[in-house]
Amino acid sequence: MKKISFLLVATIGFLTAEAQVYRNVNMGGDHQTIRAKRKDADFEGSPYLFSDWQKAVVQFGAGIAPSSSEVKYDLLADLLVLKGKDGEEYEFKDQPKEFLLTSLKELYKNGFAPVDKFTDKTFYQVIYEGKIKFLKKTTKTIIESKGYNTATITRKIADDTQYYIVKADNKPIKVKYTEKSIFATLGKSEELARYCKENKLNIKSPDGIIKLLSYYDTL
């Protein structure tokens, strides 16, 4: 059975035009570039995956030592930031390839083929990793609304979650988190359906989908 990476949830997004006002100033140091305070931040809700700092091990490309840092993942900007000694937010000068939130045991990776609105720098949460990968992606966007008979515009952050299967071509394929959608994408539907029935698997639970995909890797 393939070694699996099981991690639970939450995830990821990209920058809306109105929120993307950052000024970077090179401050030197290990992987650090200071990030200016977000402007145009008059919205309700948090732009981060988690609002508090999370301890993480951050991996970079070949030849660059990993970093143990406190990080936040800004989903509006689709940007991983780290906590500086002064408590300010910093960007990594070198592009991270993956990061593991150590207390939550959640792994996030990029480097997948571009799909939908996402690029090869977009991070996905890796729920299962074997012959195929099962990814979870939460995005955040700003939604504007105006009440009846008023000129006041309310801006709120909205969350959305999608799931993807990645095969040998490294391109994420969007799936619904249902047996029908996942079986159709993987193929071998009859065998997978029989395995679920015999083992009373609920694939909408993390443990269930991992067991199913581990079985699929043996076929």
Residue type, 173: I
Q: Given this model, what pLDDT does residue 26 score?
A: 36
Q: What pTM does this model have?
A: 0.80
Q: Residues near 130 by Cβ (< 8 Å), separated by ≥ 6? A: 2, 3, 4, 213, 214, 216, 217
Q: Given this model, what pLDDT does residue 20 score?
A: 31
Token couple for 42: 């008059």
Q: Residue 202 half-sphere exposure, CB side, CA atoms within 13 Å?
A: 3
Sorted by where each begins, the domain ranges of the chain are: 17-175, 178-219
Token couple for 35: 């990030």
Give the span between the Cα atoms of 102 and 105, in whole angstroms. 5
Q: Given this model, what pLDDT does residue 5 score?
A: 39
Q: What is the DSSP secondary structure assignment for residue 116, as one 8-state letter? A: T
- Percent helix, strand, coil in the chain, to 5, is 15, 35, 50
Q: Given this model, what pLDDT does residue 153 score?
A: 79
**Which residues of the chain carry a pLDDT beneath 50?**
1-29
- Please compute Rg for the chain using Cα positions: 19
Give the span between the Cα atoms of 41 and 88, in whole angstroms. 17
Q: Given this model, what pLDDT does residue 154 score?
A: 83
- Answer for the pair 136, 127: CB distance below 8 angstroms, yes or no: yes
Give the span between the Cα atoms of 95 and 197, in whole angstroms. 44
- Answer for the pair 74, 58: CB distance below 8 angstroms, yes or no: no
